[in-house]
Structure 1
């Protein structure tokens, strides 16, 4: 297959058009690829804000509707799409996208790169489901030419689960020109009618089991007993959003919790908060944490796999045990009552991202893999 206009045509594919960590990664990657050498095409399996964002960037984007892994009826459609698009390499992001693209790509002889944005198997799953997902991940990692893990802990988990995993680690990077704490932003606090004397906590993430919004609500309710002048901003969507609303109502704190849907102006939202919270049960390498750090916001996050690679407890953020609302509440109170500590952690966070997590570095490492695999 010849290179159109001298460019390597790359398919970037991901399971959904809603924006989470993996989708943010894809947006940053295609925005920073060397467009003189690479021509990205994006395939999603659902619509959503990511699709609109890509079109605004003039990136070719297509949707083949599917919400299931191993959705065999769409495989031929994907194969037809790959042939029509004349891509040279296929870069899949996440398990579900991989299961629905791998057969077509291999059938056409296209090299496959698989980025693992966190494994689909994890603690707390039903043993049969965990076994099945582990088997599926082992299979698709064996069939990819290159596997990329976004954290060393993810690589080690896969290596142990599969009794061997051939993978490289390329951590997520942040566009620090976009996430710039020195830029001017709209007044988010005024938009949400937050009292001027309130400290603002931000939970800006999908409200799913993994991200544990109910622990966030319980911890905030407990912290309010000691520091009443606080507001929690919960921005995102997901299957537990209504449960989180109900939990806030039952705790009697609805006046101090603001719910909203996903917003594309994430830097402005982060600029409007004082503390960023992410009480996840597990993580790959959380982009939301890096974005908050880039904006100089002190982070409180669960002490889990990829997160602990970005945060050194007490140095550039605070780590607490997962699913522990009391520990999260105590950390909230600690930061809420210590402005110098918030300032110090925020400055250390900026330095960490600036030194270690630049999007240009991430993209450069991925481009090197594309060059390695492309055989004209």
Structure 2
């Protein structure tokens, strides 16, 4: 690449927000910076006054994933239309001072749409990144199919978190969209096999004889919340068990948890929610407590949390949503339950827990090998370099 492009990444969520979307945005920004790009991020937040813009010179202060990246935070208004219009004004202000070469929308809508609109209005390049259920969500009502298609047609470079998402984008375009698949990168030194911390287990209130069913991230309906609760009840009818949620429950889905605890108080008492964890080390320590990791997603891109669990050498049970089958080979390095049959998740847990410790360890070792083979930072950097070259080939 001839020079060092100025890149603005527009993100709906960014650390300290929790969840895979926030972390993947930070990881992408940091990886672009390590490739020599001058990277800034504009991220929305509800913790600031509406319309308030603040700047942090080094995003490494909030996440080590994005060291050397400038972070701008913009307070959201109560309505999305006001927020989006104001965001365009802020983009214009930032561009007048920074002169970006590329605007990167991290998630198709609204960041991707706004990135393409703004880039076209000022005559610079744009790229958008499909990350999760953003394609599915906007294909069907009440999603905005016209806006989705316009974004895909007008972006200079399309990227996706999985080959599955890339195929869907090309299908909508009616042609090969030359979608660059950017593999999620896992810190395999941080997320590695190791003994469970006895003191952490005791602090969380996990009984010595309990099997630990694990989930990591922000628990909500699309991540299979009802199926996780039903699986916990089914497993507990046979053996002591708890569900460890490594993260938080999305507020608007919390009522489902309240209803479950009211209807099944004994099972509900064995749902342990860690709350937001500050560091990847803490997340990894909680993952190592799990006997089996569950990812019963209904829609998905390529879940970071699943990859991190596999990197820790855990046996995983996941749905076949999105790009998950690109990481999990059934009965080889994990187990797949069809997303149409997730009512069988509890029995799948019992089947895996009944395997010998040697068999479970072999499955976990194969899972870690898959991460080492396909989901390393080198593979991510190679694709990002190609994206930059395609989007801004003459920067110098």
Instruction: Normalising by structure 2, report the TM-score.
Output: 0.84
Is the 1:79–1:105 Cα contact (8 Å) retained in structure 2? Answer: no
- Contact 2:29–2:66 under 8 Å retained in 1: no
Matched residue, 1:118: 132
Check 1:28–1:223 CA distance in 2 against 1; reply closer, same or farther (3 A cut). same
Is residue 146 of structure 2 the alignment partner of residue 135 of structure 1? yes
In the alignment, which residue of structure 2 is the partner of 1:13?
10
Number of residues of Structure 1 aligned to a counterpart in Structure 2: 368
Matching of residue 198 in structure 1 with residue 195 in structure 2: no
Q: CA RMSD in A?
A: 2.8
Contact 1:44 1:63 in 2 (8 A): yes
Alignment of 1:166-245 (within 5 A): 166=177, 167-182=179-194, 187-227=199-239, 229-234=240-245, 235-238=247-250, 239-245=252-258
Aligned to 1:82: 95
Deviation at 1:47, TM superposition (A): 5.5
1:345 counterpart = 2:363:
yes
**Contact 1:215–1:323 (8 Å) recurs in 2:** no
2:330 matched residue in structure 1: 313
- Structure 1: tracts of 5 or more residues without a match: none
Q: Is the 8 A contact 2:301 2:323 kept in 1?
A: yes
**Do the aligned partners of residues 161 and 33 (structure 1) sit closer, same or farther apart at CA in structure 2, a change above 3 Å counting?**
closer
Contact 2:33 2:68 in 1 (8 A): no
Are the equivalent residues in 1 in contact too, given 2:223–2:297 (CA < 8 A)?
yes
Over residues 226-249 of structure 1, what are the superposed CA-to-partner deviations in whole Å (9 max), with x where a residue is unaligned? 12x211112323121332243134
2:298 matched to which residue of 1?
281
Match of 2:287 in 1: 270
Matches of 1:305 and 1:184, distance apart in 2? 31
Within 1, Cα distance between the matches of 2:328 and 2:276?
25
Kindly tell me: are residues 36 and 127 of structure 1, through their superposed partners in 2, closer, same or farther at Cα, counting changes over 3 Å?
closer
Contact 1:47 1:63 in 2 (8 A): no
Deviation at 1:355, TM superposition (A): 0.7
TM-score, normalising length: structure 1:
0.88
Alignment of 1:296-375 (within 5 A): 296-322=313-339, 324-338=341-355, 339-374=357-392, 375=394
- Identify the residue that residue 118 of structure 2 maps to in structure 1: 104
User: 1:167-222: per-residue Cα shift (whole Å, max 9, x none)?
Assistant: 22222221212212249968431220211222211111222221121221011111
1:147 shift after superposition: 0.2
Distance 1:62 1:126, change over 3 A: closer
How far did 1:50 drift?
Answer: 9.9
* Aligned residue in 2 for 1:158: 169
SS of alignment partner, residue 277 of structure 1: strand
Matches of 1:51 and 1:320, distance apart in 2:
40
Who is 2:160 aligned against?
149
The Cα shift of 1:107 comes to: 1.6
Distance 1:215 1:78 in 2: 41
- Is residue 149–residue 170 contact of structure 1 (8 Å, CA) maintained in 2? yes
